[in-house]
Amino acid sequence: MSTRTLGLALFGIGAATVVGVSWVAPWWTSPVWSSAPTAHFDGTAWAVFGPIFMAMSIAMPVGMVLTVCGVMLLGKDGAERTWPPIVAALLVCGSLFYPPTLGFYPVVFGIAGGFILVFFFGSLWYWASRRRRLAPARKVSADLQMLGYVLFLLAAVQLCAVLGNPFSGLLVPERLEPGDLPYQYSMATRSIIYLAAGWGMLFVAHLREARADSQ
């Protein structure tokens, strides 16, 4: 089996696993789990940490690792090593399992938010210096990438507001009033929209670059 064939197989299996577990299956499982209190499912296949729950939890990181391994093999050129990013993917995906539960540490939001801002502004700085050297046909792709970065930052801001807001959310849930829920829902909805739009921008940017390379 050639490297490209193996890469295509791993990418296809991994992508199908991720899509099936993270998007297709929830259309079936979520209505079941939301139909009754958690205790209602104790002792059944639908129980928390039961076989269905665990199968979905394990399949997601496994699918991600397979996808990364496949795409690394597809992008391999000659005898270059592919194992460092594959090992990194294994470690990152493995973090979903350890530790199984985490406490809520508000300071983590502050520290991580600071890193996000540093990386964001640093990325924009180097993006600007790189864009000046690009051919006109590639500048649109660079602009789309920048918009993706902005959308990811907006999504991070919304998630921090939902999860680390000192007036509501997980930080002080006892302050969460019924009238606050529409705002929480709105921020959560905007977060997923920003993330989807950001990934869309990056996809179109890569698509335009691929077309430019083929010309």
Among the residue ranges 72-76, 130-134, 143-147, 201-205, the one predicted with the least confidence is 72-76
Q: What is the mean pLDDT of the chain?
A: 85
Summarize the confidence of residues 138-153 as an average pLDDT.
Answer: 92
What pLDDT, on the 0 to 100 scale, is given for residue 137?
A: 78
User: For residue 62, is it within any domain?
Assistant: yes
Query: Would you say residue 201 has pLDDT above 90?
Result: yes
- Inter-residue contact 49 to 109 (CB < 8 Å): no
Domain limit, last residue, from 34, 65, 94: 94
Same domain, 113 and 204: yes
Number of domains observed in the structure of the chain? 2
Query: Would you say residue 171 has pLDDT above 80?
Result: no
pTM value is 0.76
* Buried/exposed code over 137-149 (b: 16+ C-beta within 10 A; e: otherwise): ebeebbebbbbbb
Q: What are the residue ranges of helices labelled H in the chain?
A: 3-19, 26-33, 51-74, 83-94, 106-131, 136-164, 181-214
User: For residue 41, is it within any domain?
Assistant: yes
Same domain, 189 and 120: yes
Rounded distance between C-alpha atoms, residue 211 and residue 26, angstroms:
35
- Inter-residue contact 65 to 90 (CB < 8 Å): yes
Domain that holds residue 150: 106-214
Greatest mean pLDDT among 70-74, 150-154, 163-167 lies in 150-154
Q: Which of 61, 57, 62 is nearest to 26 (CA)?
A: 57
Rounded distance between C-alpha atoms, residue 122 and residue 203, angstroms:
22
Same domain, 110 and 199: yes
Same domain, 90 and 111: no
Same domain, 114 and 186: yes
Residue 213: which region, alpha, beta or left (left: phi > 0; alpha: psi -120 to 50)?
alpha
The total number of residues shown for the chain amounts to: 215
Rounded distance between C-alpha atoms, residue 63 and residue 18, angstroms:
5
CA 164 to centroid of chain Cα atoms: 19
Same domain, 87 and 110: no
User: For residue 18, is it within any domain?
Assistant: yes
User: For residue 123, is it within any domain?
Assistant: yes
Same domain, 35 and 84: yes
More confident residue, 152 or 177: 152
Same domain, 55 and 155: no
